[in-house]
Amino acid sequence: MVKPPRIPPVFVLSTGRCGSTMLSNILNLHPRVLSLSEFFSYVGVHQLFRSRHSTGLRMWHYYSKQRNHTRLMLREPSYEEFLYPLEDSAARFNKSNVPPVMCAALPHITSEYEVLFDELGPVVQSQPKQLTADHLRHLFVSLCEQFSADTWVERSGGSLLFGSRLIREFPEARVVHIYRDGRDTAISMYHHYLFRLIVVTLKKLRGSGVDPISLMYRRKIWDSISPWLTPLVNMVIKPEKLPFDELKISDFAAFWNAMIAISDHLLGDLPTERLLNMKFEDMLAEPEVHIRRLIRFIDPDLEDEEWVREASSIPQPARSKFANLSSAEQDAVVEACFPGLKRLGYSV
Strands 10-13 and 174-179: parallel
Report the pLDDT value the prediction gives residue 127, as an integer from 0 to 100: 97
Give the pLDDT mean for 137-144: 97
- In this prediction, residue 292 carries a pLDDT of 98
Average pLDDT of span 221-239: 75
CA distance 136 to 123: 12
| Angle (deg, nearest 10), helices 182-190 and 249-267 | 120
Confidence class of residue 274 from pLDDT cuts 50, 70 and 90? Answer: very high
Judged against a pLDDT cut of 70, whether residue 152 lies above it is answered with: yes
Q: What is the DSSP letter of 204?
A: H
| pLDDT score at 131 | 96
Q: What percentage of the chain reaches a pLDDT higher than 70?
A: 97
- Whole-number average pLDDT of the chain: 94
One-letter amino acid identity for 215? Answer: L
Q: What is the pLDDT, as a whole number, of residue 69?
A: 82
Per-residue confidence (pLDDT) for residue 1, from 0 to 100: 57
Say if CB 34 and CB 196 are below 8 A apart: no
Average pLDDT of 31-58?
95
Q: What is the 3-state secondary structure (H, E, C) of 321-340?
A: CHHHCCHHHHHHHHHHHHHH
Could you tell me how far CA 131 lies from the centroid of its own chain?
22
Is residue 59 within 8 A of residue 124, CB to CB? The reply is yes
Could you give the CA distance from residue 239 to residue 139 in angstroms, rounded to a whole number?
33
In this structure, the strands spanning 130-131 and 53-54 are: antiparallel
pLDDT at 77: 61
Pairing of strands 275-279, 33-37: unpaired
For the whole model, what pTM was predicted? Answer: 0.95
pLDDT level of residue 217 (50, 70, 90 thresholds): confident
CB 297 within 8 A of CB 9: no
pLDDT in the model for residue 75: 84
Predicted confidence (pLDDT) at residue 208 exceeds the cutoff of 90: no
Q: What does the pLDDT read at residue 344?
A: 98
Q: How confident is the model at residue 221 (pLDDT cuts 50, 70, 90)?
A: confident
Are 179 and 142 in contact by the 8 Å Cβ rule? The answer is no
Q: What is the CATH number of domain 10-344?
A: 3.40.50
